Amino acid sequence: MRGAVIHAPGDVRFETLDDPKIVNPTDAVIRTVATCVCGSDLWPYRGIEPVEEPHPMGHEYVGVVEEVGSGVTSVRPGQFVVGSFATSDNTCANCRNGWQSSCLNREFMSTCQADYVRIPNAQGSLVATDEHPAEEFVPSLLAVSDVMGTGWYAALAAEVKPGSTAVVVGDGAVGLCGVIAAKELGAERIIAMSRHASRQELAREFGATDIIAERGEEGVARVKDLTQGIGADSVLECVGTAESMRQALHSARPGGNVGFVGVPHDVAIDGQELFFSHVGLRGGPAPVRGYLPDLIDRVLSGRINPGRVFDLTLPLEQVAEGYRAMDERRAVKTLLMP
Protein backbone atom coordinates (compact mmCIF):
# COMPACT_ATOMS: atom_id res chain seq x y z
CA MET A 1 0.00 0.00 0.00
CA ARG A 2 0.97 3.67 -0.04
CA GLY A 3 1.19 6.14 2.82
CA ALA A 4 2.74 9.29 4.26
CA VAL A 5 6.08 9.09 6.07
CA ILE A 6 7.81 12.00 7.78
CA HIS A 7 11.60 11.86 7.47
CA ALA A 8 12.53 15.22 8.99
CA PRO A 9 10.94 18.61 9.67
CA GLY A 10 9.39 19.81 6.42
CA ASP A 11 10.01 16.46 4.72
CA VAL A 12 6.88 14.34 4.27
CA ARG A 13 7.00 11.70 1.53
CA PHE A 14 4.43 9.41 -0.05
CA GLU A 15 5.93 5.93 -0.02
CA THR A 16 5.18 2.25 -0.51
CA LEU A 17 4.65 0.57 2.86
CA ASP A 18 3.87 -2.92 4.10
CA ASP A 19 0.18 -3.79 4.03
CA PRO A 20 -1.33 -3.82 7.53
CA LYS A 21 -2.27 -7.18 8.99
CA ILE A 22 -4.26 -8.48 11.92
CA VAL A 23 -1.80 -8.74 14.83
CA ASN A 24 -4.14 -9.20 17.80
CA PRO A 25 -7.62 -10.76 17.97
CA THR A 26 -9.08 -7.31 18.76
CA ASP A 27 -7.64 -5.70 15.59
CA ALA A 28 -9.39 -4.71 12.39
CA VAL A 29 -8.01 -3.57 9.05
CA ILE A 30 -9.90 -0.86 7.20
CA ARG A 31 -9.67 0.54 3.69
CA THR A 32 -9.34 4.29 4.14
CA VAL A 33 -12.16 6.29 2.57
CA ALA A 34 -10.83 9.64 3.79
CA THR A 35 -8.07 10.92 6.05
CA CYS A 36 -6.52 14.32 6.64
CA VAL A 37 -3.73 16.44 8.06
CA CYS A 38 -4.21 17.60 11.65
CA GLY A 39 -2.91 20.80 13.17
CA SER A 40 -1.01 18.66 15.68
CA ASP A 41 0.81 17.00 12.75
CA LEU A 42 2.45 20.37 12.16
CA TRP A 43 4.37 20.18 15.45
CA PRO A 44 6.89 17.63 14.09
CA TYR A 45 6.60 19.08 10.58
CA ARG A 46 7.79 22.42 11.96
CA GLY A 47 10.50 20.82 14.08
CA ILE A 48 8.84 21.74 17.37
CA GLU A 49 8.61 18.03 18.17
CA PRO A 50 11.68 15.93 17.26
CA VAL A 51 11.62 13.52 14.32
CA GLU A 52 14.17 10.97 15.46
CA GLU A 53 13.60 8.54 12.60
CA PRO A 54 11.22 8.23 9.62
CA HIS A 55 7.73 7.12 10.64
CA PRO A 56 4.17 7.05 9.25
CA MET A 57 1.76 9.87 10.00
CA GLY A 58 -1.94 10.45 10.56
CA HIS A 59 -4.54 9.76 13.24
CA GLU A 60 -7.90 10.72 11.69
CA TYR A 61 -9.83 8.26 9.59
CA VAL A 62 -13.07 6.86 8.25
CA GLY A 63 -13.16 3.75 6.17
CA VAL A 64 -14.63 0.39 5.23
CA VAL A 65 -13.80 -2.71 7.23
CA GLU A 66 -11.71 -5.19 5.24
CA GLU A 67 -10.88 -7.78 7.91
CA VAL A 68 -11.45 -8.31 11.62
CA GLY A 69 -9.71 -10.37 14.28
CA SER A 70 -11.39 -13.28 16.02
CA GLY A 71 -12.25 -11.09 19.01
CA VAL A 72 -14.13 -8.43 17.04
CA THR A 73 -17.90 -8.80 16.86
CA SER A 74 -19.03 -5.17 16.98
CA VAL A 75 -18.22 -4.49 13.31
CA ARG A 76 -17.89 -6.71 10.27
CA PRO A 77 -16.25 -6.55 6.84
CA GLY A 78 -18.01 -4.25 4.42
CA GLN A 79 -19.28 -1.78 7.02
CA PHE A 80 -18.43 1.93 6.94
CA VAL A 81 -16.86 2.89 10.26
CA VAL A 82 -15.74 5.95 12.22
CA GLY A 83 -13.15 5.69 14.97
CA SER A 84 -11.16 7.83 17.36
CA PHE A 85 -7.53 8.93 17.30
CA ALA A 86 -7.18 7.18 20.70
CA THR A 87 -8.31 3.56 20.57
CA SER A 88 -10.00 1.98 23.57
CA ASP A 89 -11.49 -1.33 24.64
CA ASN A 90 -14.57 0.59 25.91
CA THR A 91 -14.90 -1.88 28.79
CA CYS A 92 -12.21 -0.97 31.37
CA ALA A 93 -13.01 1.18 34.40
CA ASN A 94 -11.76 4.37 32.78
CA CYS A 95 -13.85 3.72 29.67
CA ARG A 96 -16.94 2.95 31.74
CA ASN A 97 -16.41 6.26 33.54
CA GLY A 98 -16.45 8.06 30.17
CA TRP A 99 -12.70 8.56 29.73
CA GLN A 100 -11.98 6.29 26.79
CA SER A 101 -8.89 8.31 25.86
CA SER A 102 -7.40 7.11 29.17
CA CYS A 103 -8.32 3.48 28.46
CA LEU A 104 -6.04 1.04 30.28
CA ASN A 105 -5.34 -0.54 26.86
CA ARG A 106 -5.20 2.72 24.90
CA GLU A 107 -3.18 3.01 21.72
CA PHE A 108 -2.87 6.28 19.81
CA MET A 109 -3.35 6.04 16.06
CA SER A 110 -0.37 7.18 13.99
CA THR A 111 -0.56 5.52 10.57
CA CYS A 112 -3.81 6.79 9.06
CA GLN A 113 -2.53 8.85 6.11
CA ALA A 114 -2.46 5.64 4.09
CA ASP A 115 -4.56 3.41 1.84
CA TYR A 116 -5.18 0.85 4.60
CA VAL A 117 -4.94 1.06 8.39
CA ARG A 118 -4.75 -1.47 11.21
CA ILE A 119 -7.08 -0.40 14.03
CA PRO A 120 -6.10 -1.74 17.49
CA ASN A 121 -8.93 -2.23 20.01
CA ALA A 122 -11.36 -2.27 17.10
CA GLN A 123 -14.06 -3.96 19.17
CA GLY A 124 -14.35 -0.91 21.40
CA SER A 125 -13.11 1.84 19.09
CA LEU A 126 -15.05 1.58 15.84
CA VAL A 127 -18.64 2.68 15.32
CA ALA A 128 -20.41 1.54 12.16
CA THR A 129 -23.04 3.58 10.35
CA ASP A 130 -26.29 1.84 9.40
CA GLU A 131 -25.33 2.06 5.74
CA HIS A 132 -22.59 3.60 3.65
CA PRO A 133 -23.13 7.36 3.95
CA ALA A 134 -23.57 9.64 0.96
CA GLU A 135 -20.32 11.21 -0.18
CA GLU A 136 -21.42 14.63 1.08
CA PHE A 137 -21.31 13.35 4.69
CA VAL A 138 -17.80 11.87 4.55
CA PRO A 139 -15.89 15.09 5.45
CA SER A 140 -18.05 15.71 8.50
CA LEU A 141 -17.80 12.10 9.66
CA LEU A 142 -14.04 12.36 9.30
CA ALA A 143 -14.09 15.54 11.40
CA VAL A 144 -15.97 13.63 14.10
CA SER A 145 -13.00 11.23 14.48
CA ASP A 146 -10.91 14.03 15.97
CA VAL A 147 -11.46 17.77 15.55
CA MET A 148 -15.22 17.79 16.10
CA GLY A 149 -14.93 15.33 18.97
CA THR A 150 -12.10 17.39 20.44
CA GLY A 151 -14.02 20.65 20.07
CA TRP A 152 -16.98 18.95 21.75
CA TYR A 153 -14.81 17.87 24.66
CA ALA A 154 -13.40 21.39 24.99
CA ALA A 155 -16.93 22.73 25.38
CA LEU A 156 -17.91 20.04 27.89
CA ALA A 157 -14.70 20.52 29.87
CA ALA A 158 -15.37 24.27 29.96
CA GLU A 159 -18.91 23.48 31.19
CA VAL A 160 -20.75 25.39 28.47
CA LYS A 161 -24.38 25.64 29.51
CA PRO A 162 -27.57 27.03 27.95
CA GLY A 163 -27.60 30.82 28.10
CA SER A 164 -23.89 31.10 28.93
CA THR A 165 -21.07 33.11 27.37
CA ALA A 166 -18.25 31.12 25.79
CA VAL A 167 -14.91 32.24 24.39
CA VAL A 168 -13.03 30.11 21.85
CA VAL A 169 -9.26 30.69 21.72
CA GLY A 170 -7.94 29.42 18.39
CA ASP A 171 -9.40 29.54 14.90
CA GLY A 172 -8.02 26.29 13.53
CA ALA A 173 -10.23 23.29 12.84
CA VAL A 174 -10.60 22.39 16.54
CA GLY A 175 -11.46 25.96 17.51
CA LEU A 176 -14.02 26.24 14.72
CA CYS A 177 -15.55 22.93 15.81
CA GLY A 178 -15.53 24.28 19.35
CA VAL A 179 -17.80 27.07 18.12
CA ILE A 180 -20.20 24.41 16.77
CA ALA A 181 -20.08 22.59 20.09
CA ALA A 182 -20.74 25.71 22.14
CA LYS A 183 -23.72 26.51 19.93
CA GLU A 184 -25.10 22.96 20.22
CA LEU A 185 -24.72 23.05 24.01
CA GLY A 186 -26.76 26.24 24.21
CA ALA A 187 -24.31 29.09 24.68
CA GLU A 188 -26.09 32.39 24.10
CA ARG A 189 -22.95 34.35 23.31
CA ILE A 190 -19.94 32.81 21.56
CA ILE A 191 -16.82 34.95 21.19
CA ALA A 192 -14.37 33.61 18.62
CA MET A 193 -10.80 34.90 18.81
CA SER A 194 -9.48 35.03 15.25
CA ARG A 195 -7.34 37.29 13.09
CA HIS A 196 -8.14 35.69 9.73
CA ALA A 197 -11.10 36.94 7.69
CA SER A 198 -12.04 33.58 6.12
CA ARG A 199 -11.95 31.82 9.48
CA GLN A 200 -13.91 34.63 11.13
CA GLU A 201 -16.60 34.20 8.50
CA LEU A 202 -16.82 30.46 9.05
CA ALA A 203 -16.89 30.96 12.82
CA ARG A 204 -19.89 33.27 12.43
CA GLU A 205 -21.63 30.74 10.19
CA PHE A 206 -21.02 28.07 12.85
CA GLY A 207 -22.59 30.25 15.54
CA ALA A 208 -20.10 32.86 16.79
CA THR A 209 -21.83 36.07 17.86
CA ASP A 210 -18.66 38.15 18.31
CA ILE A 211 -15.15 38.17 16.86
CA ILE A 212 -12.03 39.41 18.64
CA ALA A 213 -8.92 39.86 16.50
CA GLU A 214 -6.60 41.00 19.29
CA ARG A 215 -4.34 38.51 21.08
CA GLY A 216 -2.70 38.31 24.49
CA GLU A 217 -3.69 40.86 27.11
CA GLU A 218 -5.28 43.06 24.44
CA GLY A 219 -7.53 40.14 23.56
CA VAL A 220 -8.33 39.58 27.22
CA ALA A 221 -9.25 43.26 27.58
CA ARG A 222 -11.66 42.96 24.65
CA VAL A 223 -13.30 39.93 26.28
CA LYS A 224 -13.70 41.91 29.48
CA ASP A 225 -15.20 44.81 27.48
CA LEU A 226 -17.82 42.43 26.07
CA THR A 227 -18.64 40.86 29.44
CA GLN A 228 -19.11 43.91 31.67
CA GLY A 229 -15.57 43.61 32.96
CA ILE A 230 -16.08 40.13 34.44
CA GLY A 231 -14.97 37.55 31.88
CA ALA A 232 -16.59 34.56 30.21
CA ASP A 233 -18.39 31.65 31.85
CA SER A 234 -16.53 29.16 29.67
CA VAL A 235 -13.31 29.35 27.65
CA LEU A 236 -12.21 26.75 25.10
CA GLU A 237 -8.42 26.71 24.63
CA CYS A 238 -7.73 25.09 21.26
CA VAL A 239 -4.11 25.99 20.46
CA GLY A 240 -1.64 24.67 23.02
CA THR A 241 0.87 27.51 23.41
CA ALA A 242 1.86 29.42 26.53
CA GLU A 243 0.26 32.57 25.10
CA SER A 244 -3.04 30.89 24.26
CA MET A 245 -3.26 29.31 27.71
CA ARG A 246 -2.65 32.65 29.46
CA GLN A 247 -5.22 34.27 27.24
CA ALA A 248 -7.74 31.56 28.07
CA LEU A 249 -7.21 31.64 31.83
CA HIS A 250 -7.37 35.43 31.97
CA SER A 251 -10.53 35.53 29.84
CA ALA A 252 -12.56 33.39 32.26
CA ARG A 253 -14.57 34.95 35.06
CA PRO A 254 -14.10 33.91 38.70
CA GLY A 255 -15.98 30.63 38.95
CA GLY A 256 -15.69 30.11 35.21
CA ASN A 257 -14.06 27.16 33.51
CA VAL A 258 -11.37 26.59 30.89
CA GLY A 259 -11.37 23.46 28.75
CA PHE A 260 -7.96 23.01 27.15
CA VAL A 261 -7.49 20.61 24.26
CA GLY A 262 -4.56 22.14 22.38
CA VAL A 263 -1.62 19.79 22.94
CA PRO A 264 0.52 21.89 25.36
CA HIS A 265 3.94 23.05 24.23
CA ASP A 266 6.02 25.02 26.74
CA VAL A 267 2.90 25.70 28.81
CA ALA A 268 3.42 26.29 32.54
CA ILE A 269 0.59 27.11 34.95
CA ASP A 270 1.23 29.45 37.88
CA GLY A 271 -0.34 27.60 40.78
CA GLN A 272 -0.79 30.67 42.96
CA GLU A 273 -2.38 32.65 40.13
CA LEU A 274 -4.75 29.78 39.38
CA PHE A 275 -5.56 29.43 43.07
CA PHE A 276 -6.67 33.06 43.45
CA SER A 277 -8.49 33.21 40.09
CA HIS A 278 -11.20 30.72 41.12
CA VAL A 279 -11.07 29.42 37.53
CA GLY A 280 -11.57 25.71 36.91
CA LEU A 281 -9.22 23.99 34.47
CA ARG A 282 -9.72 20.63 32.74
CA GLY A 283 -8.23 19.22 29.56
CA GLY A 284 -6.43 16.36 27.92
CA PRO A 285 -6.93 14.09 24.93
CA ALA A 286 -10.63 14.08 24.10
CA PRO A 287 -12.56 10.88 24.91
CA VAL A 288 -13.98 10.95 21.39
CA ARG A 289 -15.24 7.35 21.42
CA GLY A 290 -17.88 8.25 23.98
CA TYR A 291 -19.24 11.01 21.75
CA LEU A 292 -19.21 9.14 18.44
CA PRO A 293 -22.81 7.82 18.34
CA ASP A 294 -24.27 11.23 19.21
CA LEU A 295 -22.01 13.21 16.87
CA ILE A 296 -22.53 10.78 14.00
CA ASP A 297 -26.29 11.18 14.43
CA ARG A 298 -25.95 14.98 14.44
CA VAL A 299 -23.96 14.82 11.21
CA LEU A 300 -26.23 12.38 9.37
CA SER A 301 -29.35 14.30 10.45
CA GLY A 302 -27.86 17.49 8.99
CA ARG A 303 -27.82 19.24 12.35
CA ILE A 304 -24.07 19.96 12.21
CA ASN A 305 -21.63 20.16 9.29
CA PRO A 306 -18.11 20.25 10.74
CA GLY A 307 -16.68 19.02 7.43
CA ARG A 308 -16.71 22.62 6.29
CA VAL A 309 -13.42 23.09 8.14
CA PHE A 310 -11.80 21.24 5.23
CA ASP A 311 -10.98 23.97 2.75
CA LEU A 312 -8.47 21.99 0.67
CA THR A 313 -9.05 18.53 -0.80
CA LEU A 314 -6.17 16.61 -2.35
CA PRO A 315 -5.48 13.07 -3.50
CA LEU A 316 -3.56 11.18 -0.82
CA GLU A 317 -0.49 11.05 -3.05
CA GLN A 318 -0.22 14.84 -2.70
CA VAL A 319 -0.06 14.67 1.10
CA ALA A 320 3.17 16.70 1.17
CA GLU A 321 1.37 19.65 -0.42
CA GLY A 322 -1.38 19.27 2.19
CA TYR A 323 1.20 19.77 4.92
CA ARG A 324 2.76 22.75 3.13
CA ALA A 325 -0.61 24.43 2.64
CA MET A 326 -1.47 24.18 6.32
CA ASP A 327 2.01 25.17 7.45
CA GLU A 328 1.81 28.29 5.26
CA ARG A 329 -1.77 28.97 6.44
CA ARG A 330 -3.12 28.61 2.93
CA ALA A 331 -5.54 26.02 4.33
CA VAL A 332 -7.31 25.47 7.62
CA LYS A 333 -7.39 21.70 7.17
CA THR A 334 -6.49 19.40 4.30
CA LEU A 335 -8.77 16.48 3.36
CA LEU A 336 -6.95 13.56 1.72
CA MET A 337 -8.74 11.07 -0.53
CA PRO A 338 -6.99 7.76 -1.37
Report the mean per-residue pLDDT for the chain. 97
C-alpha closest to that of 265 among 251, 279, 245, 283: 245
Q: Per-residue pLDDT averaged across 324-334, rounded?
A: 96
Instruction: Return the pLDDT at 229.
Output: 97
Could you give phi then psi for residue 301, rounded to 5 degrees? -85, -5
Q: Are residues 277 and 294 in the same domain?
A: no
Q: Are residues 139 and 232 in the same domain?
A: no
Question: Which residues constitute the domain of residue 181?
Answer: 150-283
Q: Are residues 246 and 158 in the same domain?
A: yes
Q: Are residues 210 and 271 in the same domain?
A: yes
Q: Are residues 116 and 64 in the same domain?
A: yes
Q: Are residues 259 and 243 in the same domain?
A: yes
Q: Per-residue pLDDT averaged across 74-86, rounded?
A: 98
| DSSP bridge partners of 236 | 168, 259
Residues 6 or more apart in contact with residue 264 via CB below 8 angstroms: 240, 245
Provide the pLDDT confidence category of residue 56 given band limits of 50, 70 and 90: very high
Q: Are residues 293 and 279 in the same domain?
A: no
Q: Per-residue pLDDT averaged across 200-219, rounded?
A: 97
Number of separate domains in the chain: 2
Q: Per-residue pLDDT averaged across 3-27, rounded?
A: 98
CATH number for position 49: 3.90.180.10
C-alpha closest to that of 240 among 268, 219, 265: 265
